[in-house]
Amino acid sequence: MKQKPSNEKLVSSLLQTIEPKLIADDSIRQMVELLLNLIEELNSKVIDLEAENQKLRDENNRLKGEQGKPDIKGQKPRGFDKDYSSEKERKTPKKHSKSRKTESIKIDREEILECEPEKLPADAEFKGYQELIVQDIKLSTDNILFRKQKYYSPSEKKTYLAELPTGYEGEFGPGIKALVISLYYGGNMTQSKLLEFLENLGICMSTGHLSNLLIKNHQEFEREKEEICEAGLSSSPWQHFDQTSARVGGVNYTTNIICNPFYTVYVTTSHKDRLSVLKALQNGLELEFLLQPVTYELLSQFEVPQKWQNALQQLPQTAFFQSEFQSLLEQHLPQLKSRVRVRILEAAAIACYQQSTEWPVVQTLVCDDAPQFKSLTESLSLCWVHEGRHYKKLNPLVAYHQKILEQFREEFWDYYRQLLAYKDNPSPAMVQILRDEFEQLFGTQSSYQQLDERKRLTRAKISELLLVLEHPELPLHNNPAELGARTMVQRRNISYGTQTSQGTKSWDTFMSLVATSRKLGISFFEYVRDRISATGTIPSLSALIDERSSQNPFGWSWQPES
């Protein structure tokens, strides 16, 4: 005997068959659409409340010394899942053409293989050679016993010793130092696995010495990272920017990622607010604060009360370092609330940054729409991929709404591909057409209210999303910075985090050098060995950035017309 379906299943089945467009009566159709949207809203609230209720239960059980509900991953539901990637929708499939990898392989030696004469018939004729490239590597020790000449001068009562070659300071040579640094920072190996690897090669190194080798006495590398940051920021008026969490001594920090096609730089800060972003854009330099007309324009934008603006105008209208400026505020404006104080610090720091002549100033940030990125630069260019994720997170219950959402997402990525075509071939005639299509796409109402609300929020960002129409060289997404963040997340998953500020600085330095050398097509291992040995074969990375940016200008539309 068949079981009768439950009321819940009957309701769910009925919801999937409703098509409001087929209802002839306008008033009934509007009522049905209203009820379907109400169902969607209530369903979303139920899901959120169930998740919150489960968290409270788990916390209650934890306080009782018990365990919460196990997090068992089930099968992905059909249709709408939690995969927010947009690779399939936004990319046009291309035919894969396999290139010859042998063209880039360096030949170290040649060896002629001869046929055994006794195996050849009498009438065999020589027809040349058939070439085959075989790649191999040698891993062996090169331990050296240095016998340094020693002289003594009785008149000076001084001993003279022959000096070690450059890079051989301490117990290990440049080869081991370069290998350890490249495997740890470039290969994401842990210190314990590195020690095991070295031991298998016959190298004896203590845990403490390995740790010191990885994080201490790297002033030359830190200086080159600073030069890379300055050259990279100067190479284009726009920069990618993203943030990811970090752990330093068990405390939550934030790693900032700044990049463009020539370089990537990591800067870890204690917070992720506007001041931290400004600090990252200046490679961690101490912030300066300036009271000038630009400051008061920003204060008005931040809705700081006029009485506090008037009080600030009574203070010296000059530049201060952070400690000086905070002391000045505490002395003259002790009644400031914390929120207003933060806004004053942000406005003064932004004003000083935007008028800086000692450090490259970014004109446009390519980023997501997080609040800490706003008002720092002249303009923002928002990431279309990030915007598309908002629509992929919508999870309608009703089949009718699912169809509406699916059709909209197709139109969304079709419009994205039109912007890509415009970038390749910009023309003034297409600018207004694309603006009109934007208004049509995000301004048209549907009968799915949650989608319409999301479209309204996107429409409000028209200037940031369509900045590419003024500057076609701008990228449409922030994937390079997000990939840079993912690299740091992998590093964090392997080694958890750093324990000291010195270790954090080393992570930022070498992760920046790894990413930049790869973008410039340079072997990170060869680069590190070159710097430790002081051979000077590989030029400075900042010089390479300057050279390539002069050949490939990424800011041509910012140049004034001659």
**Confidence label for 9 from pLDDT (cuts 50, 70 and 90):** low
Which pairs from 410-416 meet CB under 8 Å and 24+ separation? 410/89, 411/441, 412/89, 412/388, 412/441, 413/86, 413/89, 413/90, 413/388, 415/441, 416/90, 416/384, 416/388, 416/476
Which pairs from 322-327 meet CB under 8 Å and 24+ separation? 322/286, 322/287, 322/288, 322/289, 325/289
What pLDDT is attached to residue 1? 47
Comparing 486 with 105, which gets the higher pLDDT? 486
What pLDDT is attached to residue 544? 95
What pLDDT is attached to residue 362? 95
pTM equals 0.84
The percentage of residues in the chain with a pLDDT greater than 90, rounded to a whole number, is 56
**Confidence label for 83 from pLDDT (cuts 50, 70 and 90):** low
What pLDDT is attached to residue 395? 87
| Dist CA 344 CA 320 (whole Å) | 13
**Confidence label for 87 from pLDDT (cuts 50, 70 and 90):** low
Of 529, 525, 524, 503, the closest CA to residue 513 belongs to: 524
* CA dihedral over 266, 555, 234, 376, signed as positive or negative: negative
Who's near 388: CB < 8 A, 6+ residues apart?
86, 89, 90, 409, 412, 413, 416
Measured in whole angstroms, how far is the alpha carbon of residue 74 from the centre of its chain? 30
**The pair of three-digit structure tokens given for residue 382, joined into one six-digit string:** 């928002």
32-61 per-position pLDDT tens digit: 777 777 777 777 787 888 788 888 877 777
Contact between residue 267 and residue 297 where contact means Cβ atoms under 8 Å apart: no
Single-letter amino acid code for the residue at 74? G
Judged by average pLDDT, the poorest of 126-140, 372-386, 444-458 is 126-140
| Dist CA 396 CA 449 (whole Å) | 11
Cα dihedral 349, 350, 352, 353 in deg (nearest 10): 110
Judged by average pLDDT, the poorest of 147-151, 314-318, 417-421, 477-481 is 314-318
Q: Write b or e for each residue in 283-310: b if 16 or more Cβ atoms lie within 10 A of its Cβ, otherwise e.
A: bbeebbbbbeebbbebbeebebeeebee
229-273 per-position pLDDT tens digit: 999 999 999 999 999 999 999 899 999 999 999 999 999 999 999
**The pair of three-digit structure tokens given for residue 282, joined into one six-digit string:** 């200046």
The percentage of residues in the chain with a pLDDT greater than 70, rounded to a whole number, is 90
**Confidence label for 412 from pLDDT (cuts 50, 70 and 90):** very high
**Confidence label for 78 from pLDDT (cuts 50, 70 and 90):** very low
**The pair of three-digit structure tokens given for residue 40, joined into one six-digit string:** 């969607």
What pLDDT is attached to residue 353? 94
With a cut of 90, say whether residue 357 has pLDDT above it. Answer: no
What pLDDT is attached to residue 7? 59
Q: Write b or e for each residue in 495-504: b if 16 or more Cβ atoms lie within 10 A of its Cβ, otherwise e.
A: bebbeeeebb
216-232 per-position pLDDT tens digit: 989 999 999 999 999 99
| Dist CA 199 CA 454 (whole Å) | 58
Judged by average pLDDT, the poorest of 198-202, 467-471, 552-556 is 552-556
Helix axes 322-332, 338-354, angle to 10 degrees: 140
With a cut of 70, say whether residue 466 has pLDDT above it. Answer: yes
| Dist CA 518 CA 540 (whole Å) | 14
What pLDDT is attached to residue 166? 87
Measured in whole angstroms, how far is the alpha carbon of residue 176 from the centre of its chain? 30
**Confidence label for 14 from pLDDT (cuts 50, 70 and 90):** low
Q: What is the mean pLDDT of the chain?
A: 87
419-437 per-position pLDDT tens digit: 999 999 999 999 999 999 9
| Dist CA 452 CA 462 (whole Å) | 16
Tell me the mean pLDDT in the region 472-494: 92
What pLDDT is attached to residue 80? 45
